[in-house]
Amino acid sequence: MHHFKYKNGALHCEDVSIRDIADQVGTPFYLYSTATLKRHFQAFDSGFDGVDHLTCFAVKACSNIAVLNLFGQMGGGADIVSGGELFRAMKAGVDPKKIIYSGVGKTLAEMREAMYAGILMFNVESPQELDRLQDVGAELGGTARIAFRINPDVDPKTHAYISTGLAKNKFGVPAGEALQEYLRARDMENIEIVGVSCHIGSQLTQIEPFIEALRKIKVFVGRLEKEGITIKYLDLGGGVGITYDDERPPHPSDYAKAVREELADMDCTLILEPGRVISGNAGILVTEVQYTKVNSGGENDKRFVIVDAAMNDLTRPALYGAYHEIIPVREGGESMEQVDIVGPICETGDFMARDRMMPEVAQGDLLAIMSSGAYGFSMSSNYNSRLRAAEVLVSDSRFQIIRYREEVEDLLRGESISALG
Ligand SMILES: *Cc1c(COP(=O)(O)O)cnc(C)c1O
């Protein structure tokens, strides 16, 4: 359920006309609905009502500080994967005691910053990382709280690029090796073992892989207990999918129910790291049609709609062949045509949709690329020296620019012409 609806033939975000925003902000821009963000956070979080838990929004899904602040105010924490995301979460006012740090390649500098900030837990992904963290703890005279990220070797049945819980993926430590790492960590002066973590992938549409992973984690926690190591936090990662096209992902409440049943006999605080399921359908990318054209190839006339958003703005179609629903901001008529919706970038991979049946559109029309609130702006780049888009947040009948469109000077920031002769 989201809050992007037609009213009198004009697409609105909550009570604001999207055409009105475009007239003031220009295109392309990302547009988020406060009501949808809140509703999705609440829907997810309330599934765990009555259980000790902490919902840490995965910052990489949608990193704008206005969005992070919203979840912080609702009692949420943050799952971060870099020093930059730590900076964002802190600026957004997220309580550092609710920040979890995941990722396979944490640098010394990043560890120091996170230690200094006093985050809740590092999810450690290799023996070397543990050693480095111990060094940082000793250097700063503190204790790093850790969980090991266990790679449970479970097939999440999602796109290969976003599978993370298979033995062949770079993530985590195999359960077989993790025990000895926990024993090693136990003897480290500046390390405190507090948890076990696991994240098997993104855009999962079935519950079974989650449960399969969870069962393996439970067995592992049992083994730790035999060694006298008790776990305070069980971090289950993110991964619940959303509907882009015709996927039928589990409802967050069904996911929560299944997890709770599986964990009924365990006594620890649950940490969840949802990203996509919260922000994915709470944001859209609004773009303007620049040109339409037909490249005739005899029987295979190809119709193109060229828009002002490109793969640098929304990478998912180019990167994963991902499907995004695309609808006109002025409600379409009866007349349909099959088109490729493409951006201006000089790569054939720069498409938003291929062979898509769409109501006929014309130059100057606005299109809404739906389900762009996760891995949308946060994956955008300046490729082709394109300015990164504005981000806009709507609440009821008002809107606010939460990130200005970049200007050409932003493109050159830090660059200089060589003085070396
Ligand atoms: C990406 C990621 C998430 C969020 O995944 P979603 O599929 O967006 O819910 C959570 N935890 C970790 C460790 C991640 O890398």
Domain ranges of the chain: 4-31+281-411, 34-278
Cα 238 to ligand 1 centroid, rounded to whole Å: 4
Q: Which residues contact 371 (CB under 8 A, 6 or more apart)?
A: 242, 243, 244, 280, 281, 283, 284, 324, 325
Cα 148 to ligand 1 centroid, rounded to whole Å: 16
Atom from ligand 1 closest to the CA of residue 375:
8
Cα 219 to ligand 1 centroid, rounded to whole Å: 23
Cα 111 to ligand 1 centroid, rounded to whole Å: 20
Residue keyed to tokens 């990043």 = 110
Backbone angles phi, psi at 86, to 5 degrees: -60, -45
Q: 302-307 and 269-272 as β-strands: parallel, antiparallel, unpaired?
A: unpaired
Confidence of residue 394 (pLDDT cuts 50, 70, 90): very high
Rg over CA atoms, the chain: 23
Atom from ligand 1 closest to the CA of residue 237:
11
Atom from ligand 1 closest to the CA of residue 123:
13
Cα 277 to ligand 1 centroid, rounded to whole Å: 10
Mutate to test the pocket of ligand 1, among 202, 236, 272, 281 (most ligand atoms within 8 A of CB): 202
Q: Is 346 a catalytic residue?
A: yes
Confidence of residue 156 (pLDDT cuts 50, 70, 90): confident
Identify the CATH homologous superfamily for domain 34-278: Alanine racemase (3.20.20.10)
Mutate to test the pocket of ligand 1, among 159, 203, 273 (most ligand atoms within 8 A of CB): 273
Q: Going by CA atoms, what residue is nearest to atom 3 of ligand 1?
A: 238
Over residues 164-179, the pLDDT tens digits come to 888 888 899 998 899 9
CATH class, range 4-31+281-411: mainly beta
Q: Going by CA atoms, what residue is nearest to atom 12 of ligand 1?
A: 237
Structure tokens at 206: 């079935």
What pTM did the predictor assign? 0.96
Confidence of residue 97 (pLDDT cuts 50, 70, 90): very high
Over residues 23-70, the pLDDT tens digits come to 999 999 999 999 999 999 999 999 999 999 999 999 999 999 999 999
CB under 6 Å to ligand 1: residues?
58, 60-61, 79, 102, 199, 202, 237-239, 273-277, 374
Mean pLDDT of 204-225: 95
Query: Is 293 a residue whose pLDDT tops 80?
Result: yes
Structure tokens at 287: 């773009």
370-407 exposure pattern, b = at least 16 Cβ within 10 A, e = fewer = bbbbbbbbbbbeeeeebbbbbbbbbbeeebeebbebbe
Cα 274 to ligand 1 centroid, rounded to whole Å: 6
Alpha-carbon distance 374 to 357, whole Å? Answer: 24
Percent of the chain as helix, strand, coil, to the nearest 5: 35, 25, 40
Mutate to test the pocket of ligand 1, among 59, 80, 102, 277 (most ligand atoms within 8 A of CB): 102
Please give the mean pLDDT across all residues of the chain: 96
Q: Which residues contact 305 (CB under 8 A, 6 or more apart)?
A: 289, 291, 292, 339, 340, 341, 342, 358, 361, 367
